[in-house]
């Protein structure tokens, strides 16, 4: 057993972390830790690879072993999924602790995390799309929407002041997945929603949430906040992206003390269905589906029953993975893992983490995986290829858009 010398301890270390957490409205009293090990028992990955013992990590912080902590691989191997806190009898926020250590003690994030954050701050979005390219994309998507619904008056509104909804997206949608934007626009059209998109401040993603650098995160969230204030919209609605929702919902309160509501598009869709503002055909998709609860979307933002209620309207044959809901297993791509590349062997570790999810999926015998999160979408797609699952990943809005009934006529189809 190694001897811990008192001269190597930094008693102020834990207080430095606690001060950051307290400033963001998070639980910060580490003395609540009982050293019981329930966090390690709850961690999905404690037996998957080395350096995954949250109990030991937290004890090092409490003891003041600063140098050991800041060089601990656990910092970047942890996906900050928060499952450990579900098992902790004192509810210590270990994900918040990890995020704070990442961003406040001079550490460099592996892979492309900081590079992407810098691009976002410089250009207004993660993909460095020019304003011209972004607006051109919205224009041709509007034309596609008009053709799809056979209505020349169908619009993707831009910079509409005073709209009920400002809809913000993951910038990858504008560059790689434009159909996602069109699907949501179609749903808004069917609901006769008062909505808009913004020409500036439209990318809801935020790598600062993963790097832990609060100043970066604040600047990035501030772009959306400025758009809300400029357009005077009533509700901010975020695309199917867990970390984008978390960044705008929790982050907006932590960094800006926002007063306006922040909702997921899934919540909005469910509201439309309940109110009868949109109609959908039930039973269009005969395949067997399973549903993955994203950690930010489900466990942290509490959206557990809403997506399942939407799927009930669609008559989806849903086979649940176990455990699920707030006790779900992380997909393995969270906490920025998808952007960390091969550094420190992190891609191989990401696939090993993914093995647990692959085993869950296999047990359901599902052909399609429904997930309201871009990050999880990519990881589950990678898992499907790596472990040869033969599965396809799909968003909730895609299913809803394909099931819409407009003027008593089915608009869409079965093909996924």
Q: How far apart are CA 277 and CA 404, in angstroms?
A: 11
Segment 239-264 shows an average pLDDT of 93
Which two three-digit tokens encode residue 369?
């995986």
CB atoms inside a 10 Å sphere around CB 26: 17
User: What pLDDT does 258 receive?
Assistant: 85
pLDDT in tens, 294-350: 999 999 999 999 999 999 999 999 999 999 999 999 999 999 988 887 766 788 889
Please indicate whether residue 24 or residue 362 has the higher confidence score (pLDDT).
Answer: 362
pLDDT in tens, 273-294: 999 999 999 999 999 999 999 9
- Model confidence at 257: pLDDT above 50: yes
Which pLDDT band, with edges at 50, 70 and 90, does 48 fall under?
confident
CATH number of this structure's domain 279-410: 3.40.50
Beta bridge partners of 369: 290, 393
List of residues 6+ apart from 62 with CB closer than 8 A: 14, 30, 31, 33
3-state SS string over the chain? CCCCCHHHCCCCHHHHHHHHHHHCCCCCCHHHCCCCCHHHHHCCCCCCCCCCCHHHHHHHHHHCCHHHHHCCCHHHHCCCCCHHHHHCCCCCCHHHHHHHHHHHCCCCCCCCHHHHHHHHHHHCCCCCCCHHHHHHHHHHHHHHHHHHHCCCCCCCCECCCCCCEEEEECHHHHHCCHHHHHHHHHHHHHHCCCEEECCCCCECCCCHHHHCCHHHHHHHHHHHHHHHHHHCCCEEEECCCHHHHHHHHHHHHHHHCCCCCEEEHHHHHHHHHHHCCCEECCCCCCCEEEECCCHHHHHHCCCCHHHHHHHHHCCCEECCCCCCHHHCCCCCCCCCHHHCCCHHHHHHHHHHHHHHHHHHHHHHCCCEEECCCHHHHHHHHHHHHHCCCCCEEECHHHHHHHHEEECCEECCCCCC
- Model confidence at 5: pLDDT above 50: yes
Q: Which of 362, 338, 361, 350 is nearest to 242 (CA)?
A: 338
Lowest mean pLDDT among 7-11, 169-173, 196-200, 285-289: 7-11
Q: Kindly list the domain boundaries of the chain, sorted by start residue.
A: 9-104, 113-271, 279-410
pTM above 0.85, yes or no: yes
Q: How far apart are CA 162 and CA 194, in angstroms?
A: 9
Angle at the Cα of 231 (from 226 to 236), degrees rounded to 5? Answer: 75
Q: Which of 210, 176, 4 is nearest to 100 (CA)?
A: 210
Segment 360-375 shows an average pLDDT of 96
- Model confidence at 416: pLDDT above 50: yes
Look over the chain and give the mean of its residue pLDDT values, rounded to a whole number: 93
Which pLDDT band, with edges at 50, 70 and 90, does 9 fall under?
confident
Q: How far apart are CA 206 and CA 395, in angstroms?
A: 20
Segment 134-163 shows an average pLDDT of 97
């Amino acid at each position: 057993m190694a001897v811990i010398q008192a001269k190597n301890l930094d008693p102020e270390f834990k207080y430095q972390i606690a001060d950051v957490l307290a400033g963001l409205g998070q639980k910060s009293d580490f003395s609540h830790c009982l050293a019981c090990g329930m966090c390690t028992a709850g961690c999905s990955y404690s037996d998957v690879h080395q350096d995954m013992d949250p109990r030991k990590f937290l004890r090092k912080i409490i003891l003041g072993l600063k140098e050991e902590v800041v060089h601990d691989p656990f910092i970047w191997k942890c996906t900050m999924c928060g499952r450990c806190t579900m098992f902790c009898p004192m509810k210590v926020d270990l994900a918040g602790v990890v995020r704070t250590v990442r961003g406040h003690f001079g550490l460099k994030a592996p892979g492309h995390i900081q590079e992407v954050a810098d691009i976002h701050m410089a250009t207004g979005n993660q993909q460095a799309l020019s304003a011209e390219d972004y607006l051109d994309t919205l224009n041709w998507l509007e034309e596609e929407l008009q053709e799809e619904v056979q209505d020349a008056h169908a619009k993707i509104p831009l910079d509409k002041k005073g709209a009920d909804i400002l809809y913000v997206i993951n910038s990858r949608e504008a560059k790689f997945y434009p159909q996602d934007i069109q699907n949501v626009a179609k749903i808004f059209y069917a609901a006769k929603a008062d909505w808009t998109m913004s020409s500036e401040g439209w990318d809801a993603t935020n790598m600062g949430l993963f790097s832990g650098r609060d100043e970066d995160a604040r600047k990035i969230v501030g772009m959306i906040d400025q758009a809300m204030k400029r357009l005077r919209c009533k509700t901010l609605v975020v695309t199917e992206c867990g970390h984008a929702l978390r960044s705008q919902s929790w982050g907006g309160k932590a960094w800006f003390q926002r007063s306006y509501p922040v909702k997921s598009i899934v919540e909005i869709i469910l509201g439309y269905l309940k109110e009868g503002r949109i109609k959908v055909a039930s039973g269009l998709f005969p395949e067997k589906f399973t549903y993955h609860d994203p950690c930010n979307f489900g466990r942290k933002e509490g959206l557990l029953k809403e997506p399942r209620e939407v799927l009930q309207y669609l008559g989806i044959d849903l086979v649940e993975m176990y455990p699920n809901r707030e006790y779900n297993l992380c997909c393995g791509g969270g906490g920025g893992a998808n952007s960390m590349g091969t550094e420190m062997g992190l891609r191989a570790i990401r696939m090993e983490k993914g093995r647990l999810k692959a085993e869950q999926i296999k047990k359901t015998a599902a052909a399609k995986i429904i997930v309201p999160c871009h990050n999880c979408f990519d990881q589950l797609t990678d898992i499907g290829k790596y472990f040869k699952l033969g599965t396809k990943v799909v968003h909730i809005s895609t299913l809803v858009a394909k099931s819409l009934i407009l003027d008593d006529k089915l608009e869409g189809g079965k093909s996924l």
